[in-house]
């Protein structure tokens, strides 16, 4: 579904991604782990063209992207992204947040968009908050709205960048629940998270990034019980 | 002290009609200065965040020059300089000087507000498939505009006080009236006290209105 | 010995400065002008110059004092005197009734004509009557302001007559400027395209002003003024700036401003 | 245009010596205005954060009045109004007016810096057993002071420009010289252009120095 | 060692603590848990007199405190506090942070304080960072300095308010390690944390606060395996 080949990315002198290969199959759920600064967020942002890669190749749904030639907006619409800090639009109500992109980008009729929006809000359990402004929501509710907002564009793959790490611990569950459901429905997902329980239960594959390269890639059972790389072992010890 | 009070009251009673007229002039100058400054400021703020090096350079020069010279010099310069292109009345020369002056400060207000919007907002919008223009128009600008209103209100109050400087090109606003009153009546202390009170009351009224608005904003947000 | 009294009056002067009157700075005669009134007071190359300045110097010398000319905006020049910022005004300020309620004036030290100036080639304004409702530029608190107010409500205030005359040359700004004839002529000579309308409206009497309670100082100034007029110093200064003696004016039959 | 250039150059050459002297006056006024303002500002900032309602009230009135009236009115008031109590030279009247004016703005700079220190700093200090005074002296003030320096530098630049207003009481600073030059040479436009350049160069020099300092601060921090 | 009796605390109309009784014995390690807003931080802050209680009684080391009569600075010196956001003094070096209070409050000689400080830095494993400024430290290092700084006043009890929740997951361990060691050395501790593994291993007692009252208090085994209160059960489910 989404494929990165030999991705290199530097910020000035700092080489953050040093040739990453990542092949995510349709309906697969990949969890990315790694210590702070290892390049997890950068990789996700490259997949969404919020950062431009220096070399390598990104293919989405069989189509290799040439960022210089194509309409990036169109490509981004196919890849949903959920951020650590939600990034809801504060000047728009919950429903308006969700229907903004369908109306502006897809030129969907307002009525139709609203119906779609309400369906998605129902899906994340926030139907009753449609007319509320984001500032009135808890962190967990905000993140669920953000997920609904992304889904409104019917993306082919969803990227999650530490979606629960800005949440109070008792609010983490409700967001993970929505993500789990999404995975069960067959959404292709790449998730950066420190929630190891979620990784164990939901991931098809766990990938460990260290200093800009993939050093381990295995199904959850093997990843935790039989890590190959020394750094992976250390990491597992730290977070367990 | 009771004497002083009588004197001040005396000056006040003798001059209040003239002062009311002068207050209208002061407020007109202020309003034109701010409105014009907002238009100019918007243009230069857009230039400053634009992709073009030349536009950015022009905006930078404008802002540096205006912020690097005293308003009173700008007023004189405009009054005696712009003549070669177009002759205007002293009132308009003063109002335009205030507008040109404010333009640089308001450009910085807008730029600050736009750049103060969390980059996450832009990223979220882009990631949804909105293009740069849509992102600016629908996500960034509406938020930046709302944030600009309190500093714009503040700029209005600054301009109200700054408008006193156009007395130098002979516009009959409050301060010039006080000056003449002081010279004519030889009651400098009382005259300047009275004019200070006029400004103080005007500033306090607008500060109060601004606070009201800001509180309303805060309530909307919460 | 009036003709040859420089040493004599010097001694009188120093006596006076020591006991008769208080000066801002001991031994110095601090006098004010606007410094924006060429050729009477103006600054060139950092030096204060002009007729008023030279007169001030001559009078100070007569009184045995160090001259100390300073400048201050004309609008507030009387307030400055009354708040002890200087000892006297030698700044082309004419003696009027209204002003003499606030300060004391010496004998006039020159005569000057208040005159209307217009842009060169302006045929619309031929006499004072034509000023009705026109836009007139004057210096605030000058005698010209009072005059202008008789013709119009549309007065534009300036801090300097010279700047007002400059503004007069700009199309669309001003219809006329009222100022001293000599000041206008000086500007004309400097190349400003302005011209005087008809004859001067009146003759006024620029005089030296001191605070009301400084009677001794005023007497000393009057005495010194007399001396420099009689010993030719005055004439020398006047010739230097104007090529004539400003006191040689026939006051017969003309209006004298009070 | 070449004509204009020649004229401006002419004015420049004719006046630069006088301008250098006037620049010294401008810088003296500015320096005294800022130093005095810092002293006054420190006192009022302490009053504003003090426990005493009366002290806070006095500080509030002072700050409101100064920020609610134009500087030019304050200068006139001090020069002609206060005479009845004490007569000072126009230079000192101007410098003191600038100082009194700055005092209100600098008080807000200090207050802002003090209140901008993370409350966690105060709490950490108190929790270690330091008393209020020790906490203020050893933890809060040193940090607040360091933070105040950039806005103080900015205030210096504002004062440099504001000092042009004391020309109104006849102090021979740069702007008054431009006025005199305009009245002497019949070249108003050129004179004000030259004076604008003087201010611009001065402001740019001080802005540059301020940036240098701020960068040094940033490096120290990182 | 530290005893709170019937503590009430309101902010305006909001009653945050509604009669809390907490008796911490010498050398005991108590872990406080509860959802966000339940009043955990407020309770700790009352124990350190950063907040003044409205009614009730606080006793430290057998001495009942009357905040109006006593020198609060002296009492605070007996109770160490470690904050979520470290609150190191940024204008002082690591060693200066540690020796500030002994010198200022106890009037300790500088030489002596430095010796004490270096010993404490050794204890938290940061001897080599003595002359560095806090901005150069990682979060975990900052928090360890903060602990050393508190210890420098030789407090009778240490309060920790979510000491690891501002840390990247891989840095949590090093702080918990120091805390564990402290507990083993016999320090009396009250710890607000969401680290359940730490609670299980180190706590003598776990206390659950809900809406300003203590609703559960038990040793770790009982707390997790046999919770009495319905809300506690919910909470355990959420965080497990
Ligand atoms: N826009 C940028 N400019 C310069 N450096 C950057 C930029 N974005 C990230 N970096 C650097 O790239 C490296 C990797 O950052 P990245 O955010 O991808 O890490 P991460 O694995 O997501 O870490 P974390 O768990 O802290 O989010 C870091 O050293 C970071 O400082
Ligand atoms: N200074 C204060 N003024 C007003 N309300 C306050 C203040 N401090 C805390 N509160 C309120 O008291 C309640 C309890 O806050 P407290 O910080 O003790 O909760 P907590 O259990 O520590 O939560 P968290 O896990 O989010 O830190 C909250 O509703 C909070 O908003
Ligand atoms: Mg990241
Ligand atoms: Mg808390």
Average pLDDT rounded to a whole number, residues B126-136:
95
| Location of structure tokens 């709490």 | D123
Largest CA distance in chain A: 55
Q: Are A182 and A124 in contact (CB under 8 A)?
A: no
From the list C71, C88, C27, B187, the residue with the least C-alpha distance to D90 is C71
Axis crossing angle, helix E169-184 with helix E139-151, rounded to the nearest 10: 20
DSSP, collapsed to helix, strand or coil, labels residue C83 as: coil
Looking at every residue in chain A, the average pLDDT score rounds to: 93
Q: Which of D113, D123, D125, D127 to mutate to test the interface with E (most CBs of E within 10 A)?
A: D127
B89 contacts in chain C (CB < 8 Å) = 173
pLDDT value, residue E236: 87
Average pLDDT rounded to a whole number, residues A177-199:
94
For D25-37, the pLDDT digits (tens) are 999 999 999 999 9
Burial of D76 (0-12, 13-18, 19+ CB in 10 A): buried
| A203/B108 Cα distance (integer angstroms) | 48
pLDDT value, residue A206: 96
Looking at every residue in chain C, the average pLDDT score rounds to: 86
For residue A220, report the phi and psi dihedrals to the nearest 5 degrees. -50, -45
pLDDT value, residue B84: 62
Query: Between these two residues, D102 and E35, which has the higher pLDDT value?
Result: D102
List chain E pLDDT tens, one digit each, 240 residues: 899 999 999 999 999 999 999 999 999 999 999 988 899 999 999 999 999 999 999 999 888 988 888 888 999 999 999 999 999 999 999 999 999 999 999 999 999 999 999 999 999 999 999 999 999 999 999 999 999 999 999 999 999 999 999 898 889 999 999 999 999 999 999 999 989 999 999 999 999 999 999 999 999 999 999 999 999 998 888 777
| D133/D46 Cα distance (integer angstroms) | 13
Q: How many CB pairs under 8 A join B and D?
A: 106
* Alpha carbon distances (Å) from C94 to A157, B184, C139, C202: 90, 15, 13, 12
- Nearest CA distance, D76 vs chain C (angstrom): 10
pLDDT value, residue D15: 84
For B142-166, the pLDDT digits (tens) are 999 999 999 999 999 999 999 999 9
* A168 CB within 8 Å of a chain E CB: yes
A89 lines ligand 1 (CB under 6 A): no
Alpha carbon dihedral B147, B150, B152, B155, in 10-degree steps, equals -140
Residue from A8, A10, A16, A85 to probe ligand 1 pocket by mutation (most atoms less than 8 Å from CB) = A16
* E98 to chain D: closest CA residue: D128
Omega into C39 within 30° of 0, i.e. cis?
yes
What six digits make up the tokens of B157? 């109050």
Number of domains in chain B: 1
| C23/C155 Cα distance (integer angstroms) | 38
pTM (predicted TM-score): 0.86
Average pLDDT rounded to a whole number, residues C66-82:
87
Q: How confident is the model at residue D18 (pLDDT cuts 50, 70, 90)?
A: confident
What six digits make up the tokens of B79? 């009054």
Q: Is the pLDDT of residue D221 over 60?
A: no
Q: Which residues pair with B73 in a beta bridge?
A: none
Axis crossing angle, helix A139-151 with helix A169-184, rounded to the nearest 10: 20
Q: Are B121 and B137 in contact (CB under 8 A)?
A: no
- Rg of chain A (C-alpha set): 18
Query: Between these two residues, A100 and B84, which has the higher pLDDT value?
Result: A100
Distance in Å, CA A162 to ligand 3 centroid: 7
Burial of E186 (0-12, 13-18, 19+ CB in 10 A): exposed
Looking at every residue in chain E, the average pLDDT score rounds to: 93
D173 contacts in chain C (CB < 8 Å) = none
What six digits make up the tokens of A158? 């969803």
| Location of structure tokens 């090093």 | E174
Distance in Å, CA A191 to ligand 3 centroid: 11
> Which residue owns the Cα nearest ligand 2 atom 25?
E36
Q: Are E140 and E167 in contact (CB under 8 A)?
A: yes
* D143 CB within 8 Å of a chain E CB: yes
A11 lines ligand 1 (CB under 6 A): yes
Q: Are E205 and E228 in contact (CB under 8 A)?
A: no
Q: Is the pLDDT of residue B23 over 50?
A: yes
Contacting residues for B3 by C-beta, under 8 A, at least 6 apart: none
Q: Chain B, 105-134: which have a CB under 8 Å from a chain D CB?
A: none
From the list E82, E61, E235, E222, the residue with the least C-alpha distance to E166 is E82
DSSP, collapsed to helix, strand or coil, labels residue C133 as: coil
Average pLDDT rounded to a whole number, residues A199-207:
95
| Location of structure tokens 């504003």 | D48
Distance in Å, CA A27 to ligand 3 centroid: 23
What six digits make up the tokens of D11? 């004015």
CATH number of the domain bearing residue B105: 1.10.3720.10
pLDDT-above-90 percentage for chain A: 85
For C94-109, the pLDDT digits (tens) are 998 888 988 999 999 9
Residues of D with CB under 8 A from a CB of C: 14-15, 17-18, 21, 79-80, 83, 87, 89-90, 168-170, 172, 176-177, 179-184, 186, 188
Residues in chain E: 240
| B95/B27 Cα distance (integer angstroms) | 11
- Nearest CA distance, C235 vs chain D (angstrom): 24
Give the rounded distance of the alpha carbon of A197 from its chain centre. 18
Q: Is the pLDDT of residue C7 over 70?
A: no
**DSSP 8-state code for residue A128:** G
Q: Is the pLDDT of residue D44 over 80?
A: yes
| C115/A105 Cα distance (integer angstroms) | 74
pLDDT-above-70 percentage for chain C: 92
Q: Are C133 and C172 in contact (CB under 8 A)?
A: no
The CATH architecture to which E1-237 belongs is: 3-Layer(aba) Sandwich (3.40)
DSSP, collapsed to helix, strand or coil, labels residue A83 as: coil
How many CB atoms sit inside 10 A of residue B184's CB? 13
Average pLDDT rounded to a whole number, residues B85-103:
88
| E200/E225 Cα distance (integer angstroms) | 11
* Alpha carbon distances (Å) from D172 to A40, B142, D23, D77, D90: 64, 49, 9, 19, 9
For C99-141, the pLDDT digits (tens) are 898 899 999 999 999 999 999 988 899 988 999 989 999 988 8
The continuous run of DSSP H or E covering C88 comes out as strand C88-94
For C206-224, the pLDDT digits (tens) are 999 999 989 999 999 999 9
Q: How confident is the model at residue A109 (pLDDT cuts 50, 70, 90)?
A: very high
| A78/A70 Cα distance (integer angstroms) | 13
DSSP, collapsed to helix, strand or coil, labels residue A33 as: strand
Domain containing residue D202: 2-221
For A127-154, the pLDDT digits (tens) are 999 999 999 999 999 999 999 999 999 9
What six digits make up the tokens of B101? 């002056």
| D127/E87 Cα distance (integer angstroms) | 11
> Which residue owns the Cα nearest ligand 1 atom 29?
A37
| B188/D82 Cα distance (integer angstroms) | 9
Task: With CB atoms and an 8 Å threshold, state whether C75 touches B183.
Answer: yes
**DSSP 8-state code for residue A147:** H
Residues with CB under 6 A from ligand 2: E 11, 14, 16, 34, 36-42
Residue from A11, A54, A81 to probe ligand 1 pocket by mutation (most atoms less than 8 Å from CB) = A11
Q: Is the pLDDT of residue D199 over 50?
A: yes
Average pLDDT rounded to a whole number, residues D17-26:
91
pLDDT value, residue C20: 61
pLDDT value, residue B2: 64
């Amino acid at each position: 579904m989404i494929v990165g080949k030999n991705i290199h990315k530097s910020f000035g002198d700092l080489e953050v991604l040093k040739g990453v290969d990542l092949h995510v199959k349709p309906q697969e759920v990949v969890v990315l782990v790694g210590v702070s600064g290892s390049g997890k967020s950068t990789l996700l942002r490259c997949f969404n063209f919020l950062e431009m890669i220096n070399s390598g190749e990104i293919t989405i749904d069989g189509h290799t992207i040439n960022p210089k030639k194509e309409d990036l907006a169109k490509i981004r619409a196919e890849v949903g992204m959920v951020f650590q800090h939600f990034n809801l639009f504060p000047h728009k109500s919950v429903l308006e947040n969700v229907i903004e992109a369908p109306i502006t980008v897809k030129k969907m009729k307002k009525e139709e968009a609203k119906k779609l929006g309400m369906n998605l809000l129902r899906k994340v359990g926030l139907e009753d908050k449609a007319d509320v402004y984001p500032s009135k929501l808890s962190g967990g509710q905000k993140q669920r709205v953000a997920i609904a907002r992304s889904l409104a564009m019917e993306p082919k793959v969803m990227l999650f960048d530490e979606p629960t790490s800005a949440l109070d611990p008792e609010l983490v569950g409700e967001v993970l629940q929505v993500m789990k459901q999404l995975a069960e429905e067959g959404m292709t997902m790449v998730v950066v998270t420190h929630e190891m329980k979620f990784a164990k239960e939901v991931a098809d594959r766990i990938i460990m990034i260290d200093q800009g390269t993939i050093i381990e890639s295995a199904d959850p059972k093997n990843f935790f019980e039989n890590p190959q790389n020394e750094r992976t072992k250390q990491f597992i010890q730290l977070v367990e | 002290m009771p004497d002083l009070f009588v004197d001040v009251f005396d000056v006040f009673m003798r001059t209040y009609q003239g002062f009311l007229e002068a207050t209208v002039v002061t407020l007109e100058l202020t309003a034109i200065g701010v409105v014009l400054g907002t238009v100019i400021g918007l243009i230069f703020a857009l230039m400053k965040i634009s992709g073009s090096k030349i536009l950015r350079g022009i905006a930078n020069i404008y802002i540096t020059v205006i912020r690097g010279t005293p308003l009173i010099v700008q007023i004189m310069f405009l009054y005696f300089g712009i003549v070669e292109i177009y002759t205007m009345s002293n009132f308009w020369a003063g109002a335009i000087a205030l507008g040109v002056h404010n333009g640089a400060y308001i450009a910085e207000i807008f730029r600050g507000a736009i750049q103060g919007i969390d980059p996450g907002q832009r990223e979220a919008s882009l990631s949804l498939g909105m293009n740069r223009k849509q992102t600016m128009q629908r996500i960034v600008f509406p938020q930046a505009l709302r944030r600009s209103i309190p500093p714009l209100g503040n700029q209005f109050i600054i301009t109200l006080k700054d408008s006193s400087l156009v007395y130098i090109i002979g516009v009959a606003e409050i301060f010039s009236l006080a000056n003449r009153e002081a010279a004519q009546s030889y009651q400098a202390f009382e005259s300047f006290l009275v004019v200070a009170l006029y400004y103080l009351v005007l500033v306090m009224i607008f500060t109060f209105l601004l606070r009201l608005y800001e509180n309303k904003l805060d309530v909307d947000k919460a | 010995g009036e003709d040859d009294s420089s040493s004599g009056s010097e001694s009188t002067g120093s006596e006076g400065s020591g006991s008769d009157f208080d000066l801002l700075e001991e031994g110095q005669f601090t006098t004010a002008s606007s410094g924006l009134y060429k050729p009477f007071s103006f600054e060139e190359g950092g030096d204060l110059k002009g007729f008023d300045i030279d007169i001030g110097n001559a009078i100070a010398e007569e009184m045995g004092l160090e001259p100390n000319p300073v400048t201050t905006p004309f609008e507030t020049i009387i307030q400055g005197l009354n708040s002890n910022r200087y000892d006297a005004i030698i700044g082309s300020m004419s003696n009027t009734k209204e002003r003499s309620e606030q300060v004391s004036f010496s004998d006039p030290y020159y005569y000057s004509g208040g005159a209307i100036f217009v842009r060169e080639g302006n045929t619309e304004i031929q006499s004072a009557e034509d000023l009705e409702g026109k836009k007139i530029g004057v210096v605030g608190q000058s005698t010209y302001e009072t005059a202008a107010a008789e013709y119009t409500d549309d007065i534009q205030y300036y801090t300097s007559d010279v700047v007002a005359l400059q503004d007069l040359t700009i199309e669309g700004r001003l219809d006329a400027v009222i100022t001293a004839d000599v000041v206008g002529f000086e500007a004309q000579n400097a190349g400003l395209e302005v011209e005087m309308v008809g004859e001067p409206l009146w003759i006024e009497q620029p005089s030296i002003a001191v605070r009301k309670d400084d009677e001794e100082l005023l007497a000393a100034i009057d005495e010194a003024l007399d001396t420099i007029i009689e010993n030719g110093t005055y004439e020398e200064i006047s010739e230097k700036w104007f090529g004539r003696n400003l006191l040689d004016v026939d006051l017969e039959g003309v209006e004298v401003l009070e």
